[in-house]
Amino acid sequence: MENKKHIFTPLLISLGVILGVVIGLFAGRNSIDSRLRRLAETINAPGNKLTYALSLIDRMYVDTVNTDSLVERLMPELMWNLDPHSVYIPADELAQVNLPLDGEFDGIGISFNMSTDTIVVLNVIPHGPSQKAGMQNGDRIIYIGDSLVAGQKIPIDNIMKMLRGPRGTEVSVSVQRQNIDGLVPIDIIRDKIPVKSVDAAFMLTSDVAFMKITTFSQHTYEEMVHALSTLRGEGMKKLIIDLRGNTGGYMGQPILMANEFLPDGRLIVYTKDRNGDQTREYSDGKGRYQDIELAVLIDENSASSSEIFAGALQDNDRATIIGRRSYGKGLVQQQIPFSDGSAMRLTTARYYTPTGRSIQKPYTAADTAYEYDIYNRYLHNELFSADSIHFADSLKFTTPGGRTVYGGGGIMPDMFVPLDTTGMNNYYIEVVGRNILYRYVMDYSDRHREAVNAVDDIASLDSLLDADSRLLEDFTAYADRNGVAYNRTQIRQSEKLLRALLRAYIGRNTKLEDNGFYANYYTIDAPVLKALEVFDEQ
């Protein structure tokens, strides 16, 4: 019995090892089931080992085993042993995982915050379900249906599940509204809600536009072209595209986007599969913005499609890339669905920039160190100094315009801008870390609700904020009352940073949303300021 236990224990630990053990155990015994012998003969190819092992477990294991449950536990391990970006997505997670890529979801159409354990409505999407039902900016949601949600420490993911649902269904909420006694009931019919990937697009100066793209969904190209058309009408001659923190998405979107800026016949990107077969994508010369001066901002969290776009413009000498070395993901995945609603994203090719660079950083299968790469860059001072980044000569490539670019692990910008920690002293860390800065912004918005709701462009936002000469003093007094003592020296050190953030977050609480944020934040945003310098020098 001891030996049998020893033999069967690996059955639950490593299916890849037990097949020979099981066959060896039964091969010398006349009692082997003839059906299993036939099964062993028909499922005998090495590629069917896992199927055979699961069949044996299902038919012969001493206890009843849910093989579906075993497979669910095995699939992530199987993918992890291929590469860092091949993944298995369970059925109950697929919709949430695909949400940033789908470009829409079914819901009620609000953005909200739970900084004080109460759902505070920041913005009601124009013409969306909540606006039609009478929801207003600043409302506090106290009940969803019959469930008390205020002050209950309910995770934000659970709140979102309660508010979202199939279009056409109804959700009832009760809200607390400023200057209204009692709760206000609102019945909302859920509908299609667009998910924006172009978060901000506005004129930064009289001729320089700024655009923030957060992901590459199936509608990103359409959103970009629509925004560019508006910006050109407002005087755009130069454009800053901010891809910092953009982890990628659909590969076809950056190809369409790059085409808008490139002359005819320029290679945008190519892929190569296991057989060496290549697919090459070229510009068609129909791009409407070939005359626009470009700067593209990237950082260590810009990945995949962001790198395709930045690499195409850099290798064609079409844009100045500014910021820090990008993530380094040069593998292409295809999402393959299973009949139970789950899916596998399997790496099927590598992509290369026009000069032939592979952007993929080194990895091995089941590589635990891979996910710590960004942290290691921080430890090695790379985020603060370009001198800390070293490339082998074999990774050097030359653009048609004679610029040296590098492969082997991300897009290296033409102009390096270090991570800026200016003004981040203990006072700043406390007011941000304790969420006091954001709580103050909510308090400010409530006290000035009529004026905040009346803001409809950047000029009116500036007028509102410029009129409040004591904004910083009011904030520091609020912080002092809420546990962060007044510190004159450190407040002076952080003054520029704090003023910009206060204005930016108040701007985001208006109907301008991220346009209001970035229109104020750029004054302390070193890569944006560097891009403006580059444009002035050209």
* 431 neighbors 384 (Cβ within 8 angstroms): no
- Res 15: pLDDT: 35
Residues in the chain: 538
**How would you classify residue 103: left for phi > 0, otherwise alpha for psi between -120 and 50, otherwise beta?**
left
Q: What is the pLDDT of residues 450-490, one digit of tens each?
A: 999 999 999 999 999 999 999 999 999 999 999 999 999 99
- Res 22: pLDDT: 37
Residues known to be catalytic: 304, 315, 329
Work out the burial of residue 199: count CB atoms within 10 Å of its CB; fewer than 13 is exposed, 13-18 middle, 19 or more buried.
middle
- What is the C-alpha separation between 40 and 55, in angstroms, rounded? 10
Among 254, 256, 258, 247, which Cα is nearest to 301's?
Answer: 247
Average pLDDT over residues 211-223: 95
- What is the C-alpha separation between 449 and 460, in angstroms, rounded? 14
Under the banding of pLDDT at 50, 70 and 90, the label for residue 187 is: very high
Percent of the chain with pLDDT over 70: 91
User: Which run of H or of E encompasses 214?
Assistant: none
- Res 21: pLDDT: 38
Under the banding of pLDDT at 50, 70 and 90, the label for residue 352 is: very high
- Res 128: pLDDT: 86
User: Which run of H or of E encompasses 39?
Assistant: helix 34-42
- Please state which CATH class domain 198-419 belongs to: alpha beta
Under the banding of pLDDT at 50, 70 and 90, the label for residue 250 is: very high
Q: Which residues make Cβ contacts (< 8 Å) with residue 335, sequence separation at least 6?
A: 343, 344, 345
Specify the domain boundaries for CATH 2.30.42.10 within the chain. Answer: 104-194
* 471 neighbors 403 (Cβ within 8 angstroms): no
- Residues linked to residue 191 through DSSP beta bridges, in sequence order: 107
Q: At 295, give phi and psi (nearest 5°).
A: -135, 135
Match 């909302």 to its residue by tokens. Answer: 188
Measured N-to-C along each axis, helices 436-447 and 426-433 cross at an angle, to the nearest 10 degrees, of 60
- Res 210: pLDDT: 98
- What is the C-alpha separation between 311 and 243, in angstroms, rounded? 12
Specify the domain boundaries for CATH 3.90.226.10 within the chain. Answer: 198-419
- Residues linked to residue 198 through DSSP beta bridges, in sequence order: 213
Sign of the torsion formed by the C-alpha atoms of 190, 196, 202 and 207: negative
Under the banding of pLDDT at 50, 70 and 90, the label for residue 47 is: low
Is residue 296's pLDDT more than 90? yes
Is residue 333's pLDDT more than 90? yes
Match 């709701």 to its residue by tokens. Answer: 453
**For the chain, what is the total number of helices (H) and then of strands (E)?**
20, 21
Among 193, 149, 137, which Cα is nearest to 174's?
Answer: 149
* 462 neighbors 203 (Cβ within 8 angstroms): no
Is residue 38's pLDDT more than 60? no
**Token pair recorded at residue 487:** 């510190």
* 509 neighbors 464 (Cβ within 8 angstroms): no
* 328 neighbors 353 (Cβ within 8 angstroms): no
Under the banding of pLDDT at 50, 70 and 90, the label for residue 1 is: very low
* 443 neighbors 452 (Cβ within 8 angstroms): no
- Res 19: pLDDT: 33
Work out the burial of residue 1: count CB atoms within 10 Å of its CB; fewer than 13 is exposed, 13-18 middle, 19 or more buried.
exposed
Lowest mean pLDDT among 24-38, 191-205, 276-290, 367-381: 24-38
Give how far the C-alpha of residue 76 lies from the chain's centroid of Cα atoms, to the nearest Å. 21
Is residue 535's pLDDT more than 70? yes
- Please state which CATH class domain 104-194 belongs to: mainly beta
**Token pair recorded at residue 37:** 């012998």
Among 446, 464, 463, 461, which Cα is nearest to 507's?
Answer: 461
Is residue 330's pLDDT more than 60? yes
Under the banding of pLDDT at 50, 70 and 90, the label for residue 37 is: low
- Res 273: pLDDT: 94
What is the radius of gyration, based on Cα positions, of the chain? 28
Q: What is the pLDDT of residues 398-422, one digit of tens each?
A: 999 999 898 878 999 999 999 998 8
Give how far the C-alpha of residue 341 lies from the chain's centroid of Cα atoms, to the nearest Å. 23
- Res 371: pLDDT: 85
Alpha-carbon separation of residue 482 from 432, 437, 487, 494 (angstroms):
12, 10, 14, 19
- Res 125: pLDDT: 82
- Res 5: pLDDT: 38
Q: Whole-model pTM?
A: 0.83
Q: Which residues make Cβ contacts (< 8 Å) with residue 63, sequence separation at least 6?
A: none
- What is the C-alpha separation between 142 and 152, in angstroms, rounded? 10
The count of other CB atoms within 10 Å of the CB of residue 314 is 26
Under the banding of pLDDT at 50, 70 and 90, the label for residue 23 is: very low
- Res 345: pLDDT: 94
Name the most confidently modeled range: 106-120, 133-147, 377-391.
133-147
Mean pLDDT of the chain: 88
In the three-class reduction of DSSP (H, G, I as helix; E, B as strand; rest coil), residue 153 is classed as coil
Average pLDDT over residues 133-154: 92
Among 67, 52, 65, which Cα is nearest to 22's?
Answer: 52
Match 């993901």 to its residue by tokens. Answer: 329
Under the banding of pLDDT at 50, 70 and 90, the label for residue 44 is: low
